Every structure is written in structure tokens, then in C-alpha cells.
């Protein structure tokens, strides 16, 4: 008999929605065309790409011309930081990033150091939210760009992007928001956020992997990273990934339509999971304040989380020790360390991220299996003493 597996790692990736697959299918099975071609085939592909652009724009309150398709969230982040920095005036040579950004932002900022930019890091509180006073203190007229995520991928904690954008604009800086985890899970509106650049990704919203978008507010100066043809209004060269883009558009439309119902459903399930997990001795939630409805990050005393994750995997529950890319390397989470949590608690933390397919039964069973796995790890520890 095959085991019924419970997937609680939707912040790593989400399954492709069957309705998204249906929208993509013609473009994978014979329908084709280069969206830059002038003939009928090309114009059919162009129309599909432009329909998808309108769907993505609608989800974040942008106009279609402000959407640039990319190969995913990572490329959108790279384009925002590198492209935004390259377009800044010679007097603006500072980039501000929060300490809890995704590596796609942090590594790009690091690379910009070699190109003569100074990087300043905004502190976060023990609750996982940026310290606004620190941001205010570090902002000045040398700042080219401020990059602040809307929701942290490990804790789900929402960041005060609108407030940060107002402060940054007061100093003339461009504002980038990595909304890869937030889009589709909370309402995202570029006008309300006030950001100039915003990244999103298909595979976090039940769309395909390898496609994403960067919102570029009209009038925002940004150099292209990829050079070649004049696709995407000269902001991203390369023949469009029509099937991927169509999938992203369909996923965006579905996310927009289901948000009002899905967000409270997920919040209820997450709260139910948290309440059960907190009955496990020494369990503590990491991150506080407004959060994504689908995410919780919990430490189990000072137990190493990796064996716990492996035990849960064997029992049929998929969770994460943090960012998927960090998980392979078993590095302690830079996000939890930035929140000043003790190192042993950081290494004892697991992230549970729920999604469209998660049911009450999944939650109750997963909580029970976690409690059992922790208890077993206690027993094996006391046996070892
Ligand atoms: N930004 C955040 C906050 C993320 O969580 C991720 C993916 O985990 C990315 C960027 C990268 O997106 P992608 O996987 O589409 O390259």
C-alpha cells in the first residue's frame, strides 16, 4: 500500500494547479509561435503573452506595461537590484537591504559591492520584523535602492513595506519589494505598497517553475540584465517562454479569485497546527505579529531539526528546516539568527507551510506525527546519555 503523504512545504514550491496545466497545454502540445514574429503564428503567441501580462498586472494592481516576465523570482530580484543600481546616478552609491532577505537579494547586493556600492543592512527585531528606526537612521541621500521583502519565506512575518517606501522615497531612493512569498497569499497592491519594483514567482502560486515577473513602475530607471532582442520593452531580452508565461497568467487569475476564501481557511488551519504543536514540550513559535496565513516556524527545544525532518519524511510528512536552498547545505538560518535567537534554537526549528490542498485531517495527523517524532528523539537522547 502506498503511504498518503502530507505536503507542508508550500513555501518551497506548490503543485501545478490542473487548471493552470489546461491553460498551458496547447502551448506544450503543438500550438507554437515566436511572440516577436509578424505572421499569424507569432501574433497568436503575442496575444497569449499579452493576456497573461494583463492577468499578472491585475493581481498586483499594476498596468500591463509595467510587468516584465523573467525566469522566476531569483531573476526578478537580480534584475531589480543590479538593474536598479546600474541606472542610479553617480551620487547614489548605497544599497539598503534587510538582514532577512532571500539569498537572491543578499547575494546580488554582495556582488554589487564589487562594483563600488556600499551595502547597509537593516536590522530586524526578535519578532522578525525590520527595525524601522534602524532603517530611518541608515537612509540618506546616497541611497540608490532599498530592498525589503513583503513576507519572509521562513517565518512568514510581513514587513512594513509601505512605511519603508515612504521613508525611502523621502530620500529619493528606488524601492524594491520581493513579494515572492506574499503574492497569492495576502492582497498585494503596488499602489498601496508604494514600491517601484516588485518580484513574484510562478511556482509559489500553483503555476509552473522557471517563470516569474518583475513589476517596474512606469518611469523607474532600470538597466536590463539580459541583452539581446528588444523583448519586454528592452527590459529583458530573449524569446518569451510562452507556455510558462501563459501558466503564470492563469495562476495569477486563480490566485486573485480564491484569495478572499483561501487566506482565512489557511489561517485557521495554521492556527490549529500551531496550537497542537505548542503542546509539545519546549516548542516555541519563531516570528510574531502580522504573518502570512499559511506559515509557521517552530523550534523544538534544542533538538537538531534535521534528524526530526528526516523522521517526519519517513513518516510521510514533508516540512523544511528553512529556505529550501539552505536546507541542503544545513546552514543555520540567517533569518532566525538575525532575529537574535540562540543558535541551538535556530538549529531546532522547522518550517511548516500550508497550501490549497491542505485539509484539517492533514493538520491533525501531521501534528500527531511531529509530537511522536519529538518524543522519540527525546528518548534516543536520554538513551544516549
Ligand atoms: N524570494 C523569496 C522570498 C523566495 O522565497 C524565493 C524562493 O524560495 C525566491 C525569491 C526565488 O524565487 P524562484 O524560486 O522563483 O527563483
Q: Does residue 328 surpass a pLDDT of 60? A: no
Domain co-membership, 194 together with 57: yes
Residue 41 lies in a domain: yes
The residue range of the domain holding 334 is: 6-14+259-384
CB-based contact 312:368 (threshold 8 Å):
no
Q: Which of the listed residues 217, 239, 254 is the one where a domain comes to its end?
A: 254
Domain co-membership, 249 together with 321: no
90-109: average pLDDT: 98
Residue 1 lies in a domain: no
Q: Is 176 in the pocket of ligand 1 (CB under 6 A)?
A: no
pLDDT at 329: 54
Domain co-membership, 303 together with 250: no
CB-based contact 71:210 (threshold 8 Å):
yes
Model confidence over 172-213: pLDDT tens digits? 999 999 999 999 999 999 999 999 999 999 999 999 999 999
CATH number at residue 283: 3.90.1150.10
Residues designated catalytic = 325
CATH number at residue 99: 3.40.640.10
**Which candidate, 277, 272, 298, 276, places its Cα nearest to that of 286?**
298
User: How many structural domains is the chain composed of?
Assistant: 2
Domain co-membership, 245 together with 264: no
pLDDT at 251: 99
pLDDT at 128: 98
Q: Is 180 in the pocket of ligand 1 (CB under 6 A)?
A: yes
From the alpha carbon of 77, which atom of ligand 1 is closest? Answer: 10
Q: Which of the listed residues 254, 287, 321 is the one where a domain comes to its end?
A: 254
How much distance in Å is there from the Cα of 154 to the middle of ligand 1?
11
Amino acid at each position: 500500500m502506498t503511504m498518503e503523504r502530507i505536503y507542508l512545504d508550500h513555501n518551497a514550491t506548490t503543485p501545478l494547479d490542473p487548471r493552470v496545466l489546461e491553460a498551458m497545454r496547447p502551448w506544450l502540445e503543438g500550438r507554437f509561435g515566436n511572440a516577436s514574429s509578424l505572421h499569424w503564428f507569432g501574433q497568436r503567441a503575442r496575444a497569449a503573452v499579452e493576456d497573461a501580462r494583463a492577468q499578472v498586472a491585475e493581481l498586483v494592481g499594476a498596468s500591463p506595461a509595467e510587468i516584465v516576465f523573467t525566469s522566476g523570482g531569483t531573476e526578478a530580484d537580480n534584475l531589480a537590484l543590479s538593474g536598479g543600481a546600474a541606472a542610479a546616478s553617480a551620487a547614489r552609491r548605497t544599497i539598503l537591504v534587510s538582514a532577512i532577505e532571500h539569498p537572491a537579494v543578499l547575494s546580488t547586493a554582495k556582488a554589487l559591492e564589487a562594483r563600488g556600492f556600499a551595502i547597509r543592512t537593516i536590522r530586524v527585531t526578535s519578532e522578525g520584523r525590520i527595525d524601522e528606526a534602524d532603517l530611518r537612521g541608515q537612509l540618506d541621500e546616497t541611497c540608490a535602492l532599498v530592498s525589503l521583502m513583503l513576507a519572509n519565506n521562513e517565518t512568514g512575518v510581513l514587513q512594513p513595506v509601505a512605511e519603508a517606501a515612504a521613508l525611502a522615497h523621502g530620500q529619493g531612493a528606488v524601492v524594491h519589494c520581493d513579494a515572492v512569498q506574499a503574492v497569492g497569499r495576502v492582497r498585494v497592491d503596488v499602489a498601496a505598497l508604494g514600491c517601484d519594483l516588485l518580484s513574484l514567482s510562478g511556482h509559489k502560486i500553483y503555476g509552473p517553475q522557471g517563470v516569474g515577473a518583475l513589476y517596474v513602475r512606469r518611469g523607474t530607471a532600470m538597466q536590463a540584465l539580459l541583452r539581446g532582442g528588444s523583448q519586454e520593452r528592452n527590459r529583458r531580452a530573449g524569446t518569451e517562454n510562452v507556455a510558462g508565461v501563459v501558466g503564470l497568467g492563469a495562476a495569477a487569475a486563480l490566485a486573485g479569485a480564491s484569495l478572499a476564501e483561501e487566506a482565512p481557511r489557511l489561517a485557521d488551519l495554521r492556527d490549529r497546527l500551531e496550537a497542537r504543536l505548542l503542546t509539545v514540550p519546549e516548542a516555541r513559535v519563531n516570528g510574531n505579529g502580522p504573518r502570512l496565513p499559511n506559515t509557521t516556524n517552530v523550534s523544538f527545544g534544542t533538538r537538531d531539526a534535521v534528524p526530526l525532518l528526516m523522521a517526519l519524511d519517513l513518516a510521510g510528512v514533508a516540512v523544511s528546516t528553512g529556505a529550501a536552498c539552505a536546507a541542503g547545505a544545513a546552514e543555520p538560518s540567517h533569518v532566525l539568527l538575525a532575529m537574535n535567537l540562540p543558535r541551538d534554537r535556530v538549529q531546532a526549528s522547522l518550517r511548516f507551510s500550508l497550501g490549497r490542498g491542505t485539509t484539517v485531517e492533514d493538520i491533525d495527523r501531521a501534528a500527531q506525527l511531529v509530537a511522536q517524532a519529538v518524543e522519540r528523539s527525546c528518548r534516543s537522547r536520554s538513551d544516549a546519555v
